Amino acid sequence: MIVLLLIACAGEVDSGPGCELDEGGGHPTWSNFGEGFFLTYCQACHAVDSPSRFDAPDSVTFDTEAEVVPLIPLIREVVIDDETMPLGGGLPAEDLEQLGNYLDCREGMP
């Protein structure tokens, strides 16, 4: 398990105010976290070319980080706050925590 230290972002990385850095000063990114998370939990229904999207809206796709970023507030709402996504909710707390930190870190980046 990754131990996250509550280090305030003192301008070392260009990321959101809630972004927690690990011991090495790193934080979750698309390549070390986001891509795998959305592939595992979301793309069955939200990949552009999924054969069974279960009527997920055409406007909500998560194949790339560029598609995820504009939807950060909505993703936070349905996955972390309401736990209605993935359909039925129920993600492990650790995954929700990591997702929250990824979204916080990503939000502040250019």
Alpha carbon distances (Å) from 3 to 6, 17, 110: 10, 19, 26
**Least Å from the CB of residue 21 to ligand HEC:** 24
Instruction: Assess 57 for contact with ligand HEC (CB under 6 A).
Output: yes
Q: In terms of CB distance, is 27 or 46 closer to ligand HEC?
A: 46
Q: From CA 106, how far away is CA 86, in angstroms rounded?
A: 20
Q: Is 74 in the site for ligand HEC (CB under 6 A)?
A: yes
Q: Measured from the CB of residue 33, what is the shortest distance to ligand HEC in angstroms? A: 13
How many whole angstroms separate alpha carbon 63 and alpha carbon 13?
25
